[in-house]
Structure 1
Amino acid sequence: MSEFTVSGKFQSRDGFQPFEKEVEAPNEDVARERIYTLVGSQHNRKRPQIELDEVNEVTAA
Protein backbone atom coordinates (compact mmCIF):
# COMPACT_ATOMS: atom_id res chain seq x y z
CA MET A 1 0.00 0.00 0.00
CA SER A 2 1.08 3.54 -0.69
CA GLU A 3 0.85 6.56 1.56
CA PHE A 4 -0.93 9.70 0.37
CA THR A 5 -1.03 13.25 1.69
CA VAL A 6 -4.43 14.85 1.17
CA SER A 7 -5.06 18.55 1.71
CA GLY A 8 -8.29 20.48 1.54
CA LYS A 9 -10.82 22.31 3.67
CA PHE A 10 -14.13 21.66 5.37
CA GLN A 11 -17.00 23.93 6.24
CA SER A 12 -17.08 25.05 9.86
CA ARG A 13 -18.99 27.59 11.88
CA ASP A 14 -16.47 30.33 11.07
CA GLY A 15 -16.05 29.59 7.36
CA PHE A 16 -13.70 26.98 5.93
CA GLN A 17 -11.10 25.20 8.03
CA PRO A 18 -8.00 23.91 6.15
CA PHE A 19 -6.58 20.45 6.84
CA GLU A 20 -3.81 18.12 5.70
CA LYS A 21 -3.84 14.41 6.51
CA GLU A 22 -1.79 11.37 5.59
CA VAL A 23 -3.54 8.11 4.84
CA GLU A 24 -2.49 4.65 3.63
CA ALA A 25 -4.37 3.38 0.59
CA PRO A 26 -3.81 1.21 -2.49
CA ASN A 27 -4.60 4.09 -4.89
CA GLU A 28 -5.63 7.75 -5.05
CA ASP A 29 -9.39 7.09 -5.27
CA VAL A 30 -9.40 5.00 -2.10
CA ALA A 31 -7.32 7.69 -0.34
CA ARG A 32 -10.00 10.28 -1.23
CA GLU A 33 -12.77 8.04 0.13
CA ARG A 34 -10.89 7.44 3.38
CA ILE A 35 -10.40 11.18 3.89
CA TYR A 36 -14.11 11.82 3.31
CA THR A 37 -14.98 9.23 5.98
CA LEU A 38 -12.29 10.39 8.45
CA VAL A 39 -12.98 14.12 8.25
CA GLY A 40 -16.73 13.55 8.06
CA SER A 41 -16.80 11.43 11.20
CA GLN A 42 -14.33 13.56 13.20
CA HIS A 43 -16.00 16.88 12.43
CA ASN A 44 -19.58 15.75 11.77
CA ARG A 45 -19.55 16.98 8.15
CA LYS A 46 -21.21 15.58 5.04
CA ARG A 47 -19.34 15.08 1.74
CA PRO A 48 -20.60 18.32 0.12
CA GLN A 49 -19.12 20.23 3.09
CA ILE A 50 -15.61 18.80 2.45
CA GLU A 51 -13.45 20.05 -0.42
CA LEU A 52 -10.30 18.15 -1.36
CA ASP A 53 -7.68 20.33 -3.04
CA GLU A 54 -4.73 18.04 -3.56
CA VAL A 55 -3.84 14.35 -3.28
CA ASN A 56 -0.13 13.48 -3.47
CA GLU A 57 1.61 10.15 -3.11
CA VAL A 58 4.39 10.21 -0.50
CA THR A 59 7.64 8.85 -1.94
CA ALA A 60 9.93 6.78 0.22
CA ALA A 61 13.20 8.61 0.80
Structure 2
Amino acid sequence: MSQFTVSGRFQGRDGWEEFSKTIDAVNESVAREHTLADFGSKHGLKRTQVEISEIEA
Protein backbone atom coordinates (compact mmCIF):
# COMPACT_ATOMS: atom_id res chain seq x y z
CA MET A 1 0.00 0.00 0.00
CA SER A 2 1.07 3.55 -0.70
CA GLN A 3 0.39 6.76 1.13
CA PHE A 4 -1.57 9.44 -0.70
CA THR A 5 -2.13 13.03 0.37
CA VAL A 6 -5.64 14.12 -0.57
CA SER A 7 -6.41 17.84 -0.45
CA GLY A 8 -9.42 19.94 -1.31
CA ARG A 9 -12.32 21.62 0.44
CA PHE A 10 -15.62 20.71 2.03
CA GLN A 11 -18.80 22.60 2.78
CA GLY A 12 -18.99 23.42 6.49
CA ARG A 13 -21.42 25.50 8.53
CA ASP A 14 -19.55 28.75 7.86
CA GLY A 15 -18.80 28.14 4.18
CA TRP A 16 -16.11 26.15 2.41
CA GLU A 17 -13.17 24.89 4.48
CA GLU A 18 -9.83 23.52 3.26
CA PHE A 19 -8.57 20.05 4.20
CA SER A 20 -5.56 17.82 3.67
CA LYS A 21 -5.52 14.14 4.68
CA THR A 22 -3.00 11.32 4.38
CA ILE A 23 -4.59 8.00 3.37
CA ASP A 24 -3.09 4.51 2.97
CA ALA A 25 -4.49 3.05 -0.25
CA VAL A 26 -3.67 0.84 -3.20
CA ASN A 27 -4.18 3.57 -5.84
CA GLU A 28 -5.58 7.09 -6.32
CA SER A 29 -9.18 6.06 -6.93
CA VAL A 30 -9.26 4.04 -3.70
CA ALA A 31 -7.78 7.01 -1.82
CA ARG A 32 -10.54 9.24 -3.30
CA GLU A 33 -13.26 6.78 -2.23
CA HIS A 34 -11.85 6.45 1.30
CA THR A 35 -11.76 10.24 1.66
CA LEU A 36 -15.36 10.70 0.48
CA ALA A 37 -16.58 7.84 2.69
CA ASP A 38 -14.72 9.28 5.69
CA PHE A 39 -16.30 12.73 5.31
CA GLY A 40 -19.70 11.09 4.89
CA SER A 41 -19.43 8.97 8.01
CA LYS A 42 -17.70 11.43 10.35
CA HIS A 43 -19.23 14.72 9.22
CA GLY A 44 -22.49 13.62 7.59
CA LEU A 45 -21.59 15.23 4.27
CA LYS A 46 -22.78 14.10 0.86
CA ARG A 47 -20.24 13.53 -1.92
CA THR A 48 -21.38 16.72 -3.66
CA GLN A 49 -20.33 18.71 -0.56
CA VAL A 50 -16.70 17.56 -0.84
CA GLU A 51 -14.41 18.81 -3.62
CA ILE A 52 -11.10 17.00 -4.04
CA SER A 53 -8.58 19.18 -5.88
CA GLU A 54 -5.40 17.10 -5.69
CA ILE A 55 -4.18 13.59 -4.88
CA GLU A 56 -0.41 13.11 -4.50
CA ALA A 57 1.53 9.91 -3.96
Task: Give TM-score scaled by structure 2 length.
Answer: 0.94
Count of aligned positions: 57
Decide which structure has the larger Cα Rg and report it.
1
Q: Which amino acid aligns with 2:26?
A: P
Q: Where in structure 1 do 4 or more consecutive aligned residues deviate above 2 Å?
A: none
Gapped regions of structure 2 (runs ≥ 5): none
Q: Which residue pairs with 2:50 in the alignment? A: 50
Q: 5 Å matches for 1:1-61?
A: 1-57=1-57
TM-score between both structures, scaled by the size of structure 1? 0.89
Amino acid at match of 1:20: S
